[in-house]
Amino acid sequence: MSLDEEDIDEADRAVVSDNLRRLREEQALSETDQRVLWERVRDAAGSALRSDRVAAVVDGLVSAAIRHQSGT
């Protein structure tokens, strides 16, 4: 699944992509910074976040983050 498959305009797609990249790559983000980045993703993606495909990706990302933080 890619953002190109969702109904998101170019400016919002850039915001979503950049914030997801930062969440994925920047190891030293505080919880506050992570929350702000996720809020930006939510705000820019709008209804696309409610599609089944995106929900599956987000579920996978959240599960991976929980496993990583718990050390499993």
Which residue is it, tokens 């699944």? Answer: 1
Q: At residue 67, does pLDDT exceed 70?
A: yes
Separation between Cα atoms, residue 67 and residue 72, nearest integer Å: 5
> pLDDT tens for residues 25-45?
888 999 999 999 999 988 998
Average pLDDT, whole number, for the chain?
83
Q: Which residue has the higher pLDDT, 15 or 49?
A: 15
Alpha helices by DSSP H, the chain: 10-25, 31-45, 52-70
pTM of the model: 0.65
Q: Which residue has the higher pLDDT, 62 or 2?
A: 62
